[in-house]
Copies of this chain bind each other. A is one copy, B any other.
Amino acid sequence: MRSIEEYQQLVLEELNTFQESMTGKLSLYDPVQYILELGGKRMRPVLTLMATDLFDGIVQDSVKSALGIEVFHNFTLLHDDIMDNAPLRRGKATVHEKWNVNAAILSGDVMFVQAFTLVTSCKTEYLRAVIDIFNVTAIEVCEGQQLDMDFETRDDVSIDEYLEMIRLKTSVLVGCSLELGAVLANASKEDSRNLYDFGMNLGMAFQIKDDLLDVYGDAALFGKQVGGDILANKKTYLLLKALEDSSEQQNKNLKVWLSNNDEESAALKVEKVTEIFNELNIKEKADKLMDDYYNKAIQSLEKINLDTLKKEYLQGFADSLMARTY
Contact = CB atoms under 8 A, between A and B. Distances in A.
Interface residues of A, number: 33
A26 interface: yes
B110 A139 contact: yes
Contact of A145 (B27, B106, B117, B138): B106
A131 B126 CA distance: 13
Contact of A102 (B112, B131, B135, B149): B149
Contacts of A79: 105-106, 109
A83 interface: yes
A137 to B, nearest CB: 9
Interface string A182-217: 000000000000000000000000000000000000
A135 B117 CA distance: 6
14 contacts: A27-B146, A82-B102, A83-B105, A101-B101, A102-B149, A105-B105, A106-B149, A110-B142, A112-B112, A113-B135, A113-B139, A120-B131, A124-B127, A127-B127
Interface of A: 26-28, 79, 82-83, 101-102, 105-106, 108-110, 112-114, 116-117, 120, 124, 127-128, 131, 135, 138-139, 142-143, 145-147, 149-150
